[in-house]
Amino acid sequence: MRTPAVSGTFYPRSSEDIKSLVENWSSEIKSKKDSNFKAVISPHAGYRYSGKLAYLALSNLVSADTYIIAGPSHYAIGSPVALSDETWETPLGRIETDIEVLDGLIDPAVFDNTAHSREHSIEVQLPILQLLYSDFKISPITMQFQDRETIKELASSISKIMDDNKNVALIGSSDFTHHESHKNAVKKDKKAIEMIESLDTKAFYEFTRRKDISICGYGPIALCMEVSKSLDMNAEFLDYATSGDITGNKEQVVGYGVLGFS
């Protein structure tokens, strides 16, 4: 059992408090239910900062039997690209993993539950998913290695799975620029988002490296881009904000971008 690692810190420990937050976001956000996004980029900061944007991303997904969720490894624990076959628990209940889908992701990924033990980038998506959808499974992927070759290998497997099974969707978990001024973060992230919209993975990698952009989940973002290209999907920008928009402190912020692919 993969028990919650960040309940009470990144999101409330109480199921009722989580439900209250999601209900508030639902009343403030109009989801594009006609969009049928098969993949989204969703932020993973604390709910105070990016929960509303994560709700926007996840509420625009198709209702799927299985959600493949790829997130960066913030703690460098375990295998470079790690799958989890444990049941995941949140304050809202338990979620089974889809072993059949996970088996299709082996090479370059391996099963390693240790890599997921402390990681928040996947966990924070789950309570929101649980309140939006029912009877689904997950296929979690935590990534230390986010290079282009690894992404291409993984995207090839995911594209085949999604092409063969129309009831599988993809979530790329990532925040954008970290610990820069609001002005700098917006400028850098706007350019990165333009490259994501164009599905130009090579340019996206070159730009983030050249400008030293601290997007933590550049691999999961590129994964969404590569899968979208393989499945002839288009990217659509949904929203962007920084932590400074929430706290009012715009000297040191983190950026949060939301995009969908259909």
**Residue 234: which CATH number?**
3.40.830.10
- Domain span holding position 109: 15-261
What local confidence, expressed as pLDDT, does residue 48 receive? 97
What is the percent of the chain where pLDDT is above 70? 98
pLDDT at 213 over 90: no
Question: Can you tell me the mean pLDDT for 53-57?
Answer: 97
> pTM value?
0.97
Would 10 be classed as within a structural domain?
Answer: no
Residue 9 placed within a domain: no
Going by pLDDT thresholds of 50, 70 and 90, the confidence category of residue 31 is low
Domain contains 174: yes
Mean pLDDT over residues 215-229, rounded? 98
Q: Is residue 115 included in any domain, yes or no?
A: yes
DSSP symbols for 97-164 = B-HHHHHTTBTTBEE-GGGGSS--TTGGGHHHHHHH--S-EEEEEEES---HHHHHHHHHHHHHHHHH
Beta bridge partners of 39: 170, 261
- Does the pLDDT at position 32 exceed 60? no
3 lies in some domain: no
Whether residue 5 lies inside any domain: the answer is: no
1 inside domain? no
Where does the pLDDT of residue 185 fall: very low under 50, low under 70, confident under 90, or very high at 90 and above? very high
- Ordered alpha helix ranges (H), the chain: 15-28, 47-59, 99-103, 126-132, 148-164, 182-198, 201-210, 218-230, 243-247
Q: How many domains, in total, are found in the chain?
A: 1
Q: Which amino acid is at 210?
A: R
**pLDDT at 119 (0 to 100):** 98
Residue 73 falls within a domain, yes or no? yes
Over residues 110-154, the pLDDT tens digits come to 999 999 999 999 999 999 999 999 999 999 999 999 999 999 999
Angle ∠(181,182,187) on CA atoms, nearest 5: 100
